[in-house]
Structure 1
Amino acid sequence: MDFLEELPEQIFRDILLRVPYKSQQQIKQLLERAKEMMECVQFYQDRIKFGLAEKYICFLEHAAISIYDPVDQSCIMRTHIPTGFRTLPDSQILCVKNKLILVGLTSERKYTMETLIYDVLSGTWKQAAQIPIGKRRFACCATPEGSIYIAGGYAKYDNAGEPREAAVYKVDEDKWELLPQMVEEVGFCRGFFFEGMFYVIGSVCQRFDPSTGVWSIVNMGRQSLWSIYNLFERLLAFSMNRIMQYDWEGNVWRELDPLPRVLWGQVYATEWRDQIFLCGNDAPSIDHPTIFYMYKPGAPFFERWISLDKLKLVGRNVIYVATIEI
């Protein structure tokens, strides 16, 4: 490795940019010079810019977070959540640039809902600013610009706030801001961002326009509440034995594809390359994922579904999933 230390700066950096993420930790341990470069945000941005970054699946587990490569179904990173915080069944993991944001954790020291940030480049944890809304079963999503919206849910913690409150978290500024209150209070709900709008689906569907700061009620019909996602700019609902897609013009849910197995309860789904990674359980008595698939919409039927059987080993601990490009 000594000859690498002697290479000119630009050549050395160009070589590092092409090192796969799963090998970067080993390189950083061997070369201090490489560690400084690889943990720089500009290094991450250049990997994205030049098409060298790779996409992986992130799991929020009961006491840890992990990153898996779905190609060979191997775990390439796993780290425990810091002492003093614990996950809940409705905690979520979201990806904003090179950071994994854990929303909806509870503090063991005080009865509040908390947010943690894991920097994938440096491998370090940080507690985010105090969230102004402490509720369960809330709607939450990240925007392409790097903000996190949260709304709805039912009061649970000391920092619960008012029933109709919503908030946005600016990740780069580490700052929460309260939004105008929703039109109606909504308990169990899901959230997604679509064409610049934040949607909250529960007993009623409400939409927030960040450009005007106004909430409105919209009619979107009813589907499986806990398994609705915006994937590749298509609103999809995973409902036991089928995938439904929302037709915005016709204001109706239409069947897109049957599922290869009946999936009970919560189905977790996220984008990966041009495919959709999803997991769920195959029995009503089980409360964790037991079935893992990669789904390619529009592919020939026998190529549409790929079973990821090796991931069953981590399934017992999975609470939520996300995709990171790093």
Structure 2
Amino acid sequence: MGYNELIPGLPEEVARECLIRVGFDQLPTVRRISRQWKAEVESPAYNRLRKAEGLARPALALVQARRELAEAGPADKQSSAGGGPGNSYRMVLLDPAEGRWTPLPEVAGASGSLPLFCQVAAVDGGVEGRKRLVVVGGWDPETWAPTDSVLVYDFLTGAWRRGAAMPGPRRSFFACAAVGGKVFVAGGHDEEKNALRSALAYDPDADAWAALPDMAEERDEPRGLCVGGKFLVVGGYPTPAQGRFVGSAEWFDPATSTWSAVQEGFVDDGACPRTCSAAPEAGDRMYMLRDGHLVARHGAISSAPAAWRPVAPVPEDARTAAVVSVIPDGRVVVIGSDCHGGDQTVYTLREEAGKPASWARAPAPPEFSGHVQAACLLEI
């Protein structure tokens, strides 16, 4: 047996086939077995092989209330026994194809909770193309004060680390999305409830923030998406409007560092854009919920008018929706409940030409039925 064999007694290509089938939750352990295994799973070829063999799977990263506190709802300020806010959130991964739910390790801290109303984005980066989750901003779970915190979860190490704090005013309810290995943030409001036009980008490899040009409009509570390699910011409202959403949108091109306007009426005036979701593949396809229906459109960042078309009514026990996402095989995933604070249910739908759209229901297990306050799609 050679000392440098990946698995003693097995040809290298067979050993490599075994290693690429390791589950994502076992990677931290695999890295500690030997120097050879650590080098293998950290190499760029490792991820390429997993994808080539069809082993990379889409998953939804969900910032979800722990079950024992799920009934309180995301905005209920009931106190815990210790006198602080009663909500506590953790990161959970959902494989929508298999219905598999996996909690990630808790963050360090007295509460062990992720910030309330935080945003999450998934990025690839580094020489080895390692996958990470970046949690940005939100409110301190003990004091309910806005925070500038950044938390980064590395799937190879299986651990959280603190990132560089988000600069500028401590903002809440901002647009956020990952584009090209960076996390983009725009809009929201400051601690005085003033809507913001400013935007930032976070590079997790350098652990550094960079200021971007301001948007054309103030946008509080906008929706951030990655569409065609650009950062799309949908809706929101200016300071004087206070909750009266506008239907406009604008997008940032990282290649030119410029903002461009999308046509007026991108969504209906007055419509909250929270459920807007973009398909991960090329094609400029988007979905959102409107009046209890799933609707779709093409041409997300085109200046030409594009209409939303109805796809299917959403089942009543998911119409109070927290998440709408599109996975690479074309299915739309909706996670919601029948009322605020209700148990979450997962539905998936696949559009097929000439066939009526139908939903497949998958109730969440009891321990994963808490409110979902933020989500993003990743491939692991």
1:241 aligns to what?
292
Deviation at 1:122, TM superposition (A): 1.6
Q: Secondary structure at the match of 1:100?
A: strand
Judged with a 3 Å threshold, the aligned counterparts in structure 2 of structure 1 residues 41 and 75 are, in CA distance, closer, same or farther, namely farther
Q: Where do 1:65-214 residues align within 5 Å?
A: 65-83=91-109, 86-97=113-124, 98-106=131-139, 112-133=147-168, 134-143=170-179, 145-156=180-191, 163-201=196-234, 202=236, 203=246, 204-214=248-258
What is the DSSP-based 3-state SS (H/G/I as helix, E as strand, rest coil) of the residue aligned with 1:80? coil
Deviations 1:223-261 (CA, angstroms, capped at 9, x unpaired): 442111112431211124211223544333221222232
1:44 aligned partner, one-letter code: N
- Greater Cα shift, 290-299 or 310-319: 310-319
* More strand per residue: 1
The CA distance in 1 between the partners of 2:344 and 2:146, in whole Å, is 32
2:326–2:332 Cα contact (<8 Å) kept: yes
User: Please, which runs of 5 or more residues in structure 1 have no aligned partner?
Assistant: none
- What residue is the counterpart of 1:280 in the other structure? 336
Cα drift, residue 136 of structure 1: 1.0
Instruction: Give the counterpart letter for 1:292 in structure 2.
Output: V
- TM-aligned CA distance change 1:12 to 1:63, over 3 Å: same
User: In 1, Cα distance between the equivalents of 2:63 and 2:8?
Assistant: 37
* CA 1:252–1:68: 2 relative to 1, 3 Å: closer
Does the CA-based 8 Å contact 1:240-1:263 persist in structure 2?
no
Q: CA deviation at 1:175?
A: 1.8
Of the structure 1 ranges 89-98 and 145-154, higher mean CA displacement relative to structure 2 is found in 89-98
Which amino acid in structure 2 is aligned with residue 66 of structure 1?
A: V
Instruction: Name the TM-score, length of structure 2 as normaliser.
Output: 0.72
Q: Superposition pairs for residues 286-301 of structure 1, below 5 Å?
A: 286-287=340-341, 290-298=344-352, 300-301=355-356
Structure 1 vs Structure 2 CA RMSD: 3.3
Contact persistence 1:21–1:54 (CA under 8 A): no
Say whether 1:228 aligns with 2:276.
yes
Q: Tell me which residue corresponds to 1:310.
A: 364
Which structure 2 residue ranges, 5 or more long, are not aligned? 1-5, 65-87, 125-130, 237-245
Quote the Cα distance in structure 2 between the aligned partners of 1:26 and 1:240: 47
1:60 corresponds to 2:88: no
- Structure-2 change in CA distance of 1:295 and 1:312 (3 Å): farther
CA distance 1:288–1:125, shift in 2 (3 Å): farther
Q: Aligned pair 1:255/2:310, yes or no? A: yes
Q: CA 1:112/1:73 → structure 2, altered by over 3 Å: closer, same or farther?
A: same
